[in-house]
Amino acid sequence: MLLSLLALASGAPLAAAEVFNLANLNWTLHNQKGDISVPAHVPSHVHLDLKDANVITEPLLGANVTDYTQRWIVYEEWTYQADISSFIEQRSQGGKSGKTLLVFYGIDTVATITLAGHPVAWVNNQFQEYVYDVTDLLEDPAGNDTTLTVAFQSPFLYGQNVSRIRGVEPEIAPTFIWPDVRHLVRKASSDFGWDWGPGFVPVGIFKPAYLVTLSDETGNDASESDPASHPLFVAQSGGLFIEETSLEVSKVGQNPNVRPDQTADWQVNVTLAVRSTRGDDNPSLTVSVPELNINSGLLTLPPIPADTSAPTFVTASFSIPEGIPERWYPRSHGTPKLYNFSITLSVGGLPPASFTTRSGFRTAYLAQVPYTQEEVEEHGITPGDKWHFEINGKPIYAKGSNLIPFDAFYPRTTAEKVRWIMESALASGQNMVRIWGGAMYQPSDAVTGGYDFYSLCDELGILVWSELAFSDATYPVNDFFLETYEREVRQNVRRVKRHPSNVQWAGGNEIEPYLIIFNHTSGMWVPPKKFDNFYFLFEHFLHDIVLQEQSSVAYTACSTTKGVLSFEPYKLRMTNVEEGHIYGNDELYDYDSSRAFNYSTYPKARFVNEFGYHSMPSFYSWEEVLESPEDFSFNSTIVASRDHHSPPSGLLWPSFFAAQGQMELTLAVNRWLPTPSGPADSNHTFAQWCYSTQIFQALHLNSEIAFYRRGSGRGERNLGALMWMLNDVWQGATWSSIEYSGRWKVAHYALANIFAPVIAYPYWVPETESLEISVTSDLWAPADGAVELTWYDWSGQQLDVSQHAFSVGELNSTAVYAEEGLAYILPAGANASDVWAHLTLTAQSDGQTYTHEHSFVPVSLADANLVDPKVQLTHGENYTFTLSAQGGVSPWTWVDHPAGTVGYFVDAASGAPLNGFYLIPGYNRTIQFVQSAGLSTVAQPAPEDFVVRTLWDNTHSLDVSDWPAVAVEFSSQHADPFYSGWF
C-alpha cells in the first residue's frame, strides 16, 4: 500500500498490478448550493468533514444531537470529489495492457459515481459493496476531466420520492424521528432515529475504497512469496481480483435444521468471486491448514473466463477427519481455537494468488423441535418446542446482550473502541451478543470494513447472533426492492460464514410480533396482503437466499418469534399455539416500576432475547456534551430531550414524549431508592440522580436475569437471556450497560455478578412473604457446595448465620432455602426495614472452585432505615483503592473514575470486576482501576479525583468542595425532577 502512495508522490509509474487506497487522494466536499466547499476524507461522513472544517461543531454536542440545530445537513445534496490526474498519468506510463477496477466497500447510501467525466453507476444500498471495471473510462477522460466524483442525494428526500412512485404501496413503519422513509431506503433504520439515539441521517463514502490495477503479464515469481494477509492484496501479484471470499467449516452432510452428527468428518467449503485478466478452462485451488499439516491437494474448479467486468463464482470443498482439529468453543465453556487457512488460486498464465484467512471448527445448532413426551414427563418440562443453541453437540445457556452501532457515525468507529466494548462484554460473563437488525451488518475485516468485528468475536470466544437489516416495519416486495435485498443478503452471508462465532441468521427485528400485536392487540387491523408479503419475504425469499449461501447455522424469520410449524417447507407458527405450551422465544419491556420485581410479570420462555430498563449516563459523560450551567439538571431541556422513551415520533423539538421516559426514571428511583435531594450543590444532586437511575437499572436486570436463569431447571427450560442493550451511540438516557465513551454503568458490574457461572439468588415475593434462595449453574458438569446466609442490621451488626448445602446438575437450578412469613425468615425480633442479608456461595465443579455473592433486602431501599456509612477511601499504588465503612452498611457503594478516563474496577485479589457493592463495617474492599490507555483522554488521573457515591448521599449533605466547577444553583425543583422546568 505504501508503494502506491510513494509512486503517486514521486510521479513514478504505478506497478502493473497495484492496490491504491482512495484515502490517499485529496478529497473535497461541497454542497449543491455551492456555498460550502471544504477538505474531506475517505472513509467519512458529511457531518464529520463539516466538523473537521469548523463548519459545524461536534454533532453530539448540546442541542446538535437533538437533531435540531444540524437538520439542514439532511436536506442538502453533497458531493465528494478528488483529482486522480496523477493516477491516470502514472497508470499510462506503466502501460495499458492491464485493467483497473474501482472498488467501494460501502457507500452511504444514494449516490451517483462519476469517473473522468464518465458516469459509472447509481447506487442505493448502504449494505452492498460495489466493483466496477473503469479501464476504458480512465483511458479516455471526457473533456479532460480527471476527477472521481461521488454525488449524494438526501436519503430522506429520496425516500419521500420513492413513497410517491406509482406502484409503491404504503407500508406499516412507525416513525421514530424522520417520518415515513426508513423502510424504503436500504440504509440503517436507526440512522433515521430510534428510541435510544439520534437521527443524523448521515451520508458519505463510509467504508474503505480502492483503485485496483491488474496485470495480464504471465509469470510464476509470486508462487514462492508469502500468502497475502487479505484477499484484496492478491491483486498486487498479478491479474486476479478476488471480489468475495467465503469459507465455511461444517460437518459432512450438515443441515442447519437437523442436529449435526458429531462423529462425521469436517467439510471445508471455499467459494471465491473472481475477476481475471486471463481465462483458464482448468483453474485449480489448494487449501492448507499449516498447524494441522493438512493440505487439500489440487481441487479442480469450473472455467474462469478472461473477464473483469463481472465476477465468476467458483467453489471447491474437501474433508478433514473428525478428531484432528481442536474445536472452537465460546470462552465460557472452553478455548476459542482458531486456525490459519492458506488458500491458493491458480489461473493459467498468471502468478498464483495466495492469501490467508482464519476460521475454526465447531458445530452450531438452534434446537426448535418439540420436546418429546419422555422429556416432558421425566424432567418436568412444559410441553412445546425447544428454542436454544447447542455448540459442539451440547446445549449452552446464552448469557449476553444486544449490540447497536458503536457510533452514530460509522467511519469514526475505531478498532480499539470495538475491542474495549467486546472485551467488556466478556469480562461481565457474557458469551453471546445479538447484532440488532435495525442497524448495520458488522464488518469481518479492517481492510474492507474499517474495523473487524467478527474476527474479534472469534478470538474472544463470543457467540454472535446475526440479523439481516430489517426492523419494526413491513417492507415492499416489488422487483426493484427484491433485487437489492438479494444482492445485499448474499454478499453479507457469504462474507460472515467463515466465522465460528456466528451461530444464526435472523431475518429481521421484531417484525413477527409487531404484526401480531398490531393486528390482534392494539385494535388496529393489518390488511391480509401485508401478512402475505411478510410470509413471502421472510418465510421464502430471504430464507432461501440465506440457506443457499450457507448450511452450518440456522435461519429464523424474526428475532422474536413463536418458532416454526415445519422446516420443509419453512412455515412460521405465528398464532398457531396450544394452550399451556411454550413456543419460540420472547421479550419483555415493562416500564411500570411498581411491578419491576414481580416475577409473575416475567415471561416463562425458552429464551428471552430482549429486556431491560433505561438509565442516565454518568455525570462525567454529561460533562462531555452539556454546554451551559443550566443544562446540568435532570430535566433540563437538553438532558430531557435525549430521553427518547417514548421517541419523538416526528421532527418536533423538544419532544413532549420525553416526559414519559423521565417520569419512568423518576418513579423508579422514588419507589425503590432514597430520592436524591438535599445538598445545595446541584451538580451533586444531578450526579446522584444519574447514579440512582443506574442502580435501579442494575436491580431490575439482576432480577430478570436471575429469574430466567433459574428457569433452566424449571418447566420453561429457559436457556438464554440477552439484555437490552450493551453499548451506546450518544450521551443520553438509554438501556445500555456501557456508556458512549466506554465507561461502565452500574448495570455492567451487576451483569458480571449475575452472569457468573454459578450463582445464588434470593427470590422474594412480598405479597406472600415467601423467600426462596436458588442456586443456578450453566456449567457442563454438576456442582456441589454451600450457600452461607448472613443477616445484618444497617449498622453492620451480624444477627444470624446459616449454611445451606446444595448439589446442582449441569445447566440446571435447585432451591437451597424456602420459607414463608417474615416472622420465620428474619432474625428473631427484627424489623424488615432494619435488616438485610448477605449471600455467599462456594462451589466445586470439575476440579474448579466458583464463588458468588449477592444481597437481599426485604423492603424497598427507599424504606430501609439506612445508617450513615461514613465511607473512607484510601489510595494505594497502581490505582488501588481501599474502601471502609466507619459507620453503617453502605449498599451499592460506587466509585466513579474521573472525567476523561475509560476503564473499570476489579477486585484487587481475584481480578473479577467489582463496583457497586455492599460495604460492611469491618470488611474492607480493595479494588483496582484497569484503564484503557487508548480510549482515555487523561492518561494519568490523580487518585484524589476518584469519587465515592453512596445512597446515603441521596438524602444527606456531602462535602462537594472538590467537585467540577460548573456553577449551577440548586433550587427546590431538583428534589423531584419530574416536576422540574421540563413542563
pTM: 0.95
Residue with cell 473477464: 307
CA atoms within 13 A on the CB side of 516: 15
| Beta pairing partners, 131 | 103
Burial (Cβ within 10 Å: 0-12, 13-18, ≥19) of residue 569:
exposed
- pLDDT given for residue 681 in this prediction: 53
- pLDDT given for residue 522 in this prediction: 56
Rounded CA separation 326/329 (Å): 9
- Which residues are designated catalytic? 510
Strand ranges across the sheet with 37-40: 37-40, 27-31, 78-83, 147-152, 111-115, 118-123
- pLDDT given for residue 2 in this prediction: 35
Rounded CA separation 252/826 (Å): 60
Residue with cell 442505493: 124
Biggest alpha carbon–alpha carbon distance for the chain: 96
Residue with cell 430478570: 704
Type of residue numbered 240: L
Rounded CA separation 409/901 (Å): 22
Rounded CA separation 551/497 (Å): 9
- pLDDT given for residue 224 in this prediction: 56
Beta strands 835-845 and 848-856: pairing type?
A: antiparallel
Rounded CA separation 232/240 (Å): 9
Neighbours of 465 (CB within 10 A): 28
- pLDDT given for residue 574 in this prediction: 96
- Give Cα separations from 392 to 248, 251, 418 (angstroms): 16, 11, 27
Give pLDDT < 50 ranges for the chain.
1-13, 221-223, 680, 958-983
Rounded CA separation 491/293 (Å): 31
Neighbours of 277 (CB within 10 A): 22
The secondary structure element, H or E, covering residue 825 is helix 822-825
Chain segment 707-719, per-residue pLDDT in tens: 999 999 999 999 9
- pLDDT given for residue 498 in this prediction: 98
- pLDDT given for residue 525 in this prediction: 77
Beta strand spans in 532-575 (E): 554-556, 564-567, 570-572
| Beta pairing partners, 784 | 807, 844
- pLDDT given for residue 361 in this prediction: 98
DSSP state of 650: S
Rounded CA separation 361/509 (Å): 29
N-term to C-term CA, the chain: 58
The dihedral sign for the CA sequence 806, 809, 810, 812: negative
| Beta pairing partners, 872 | 884
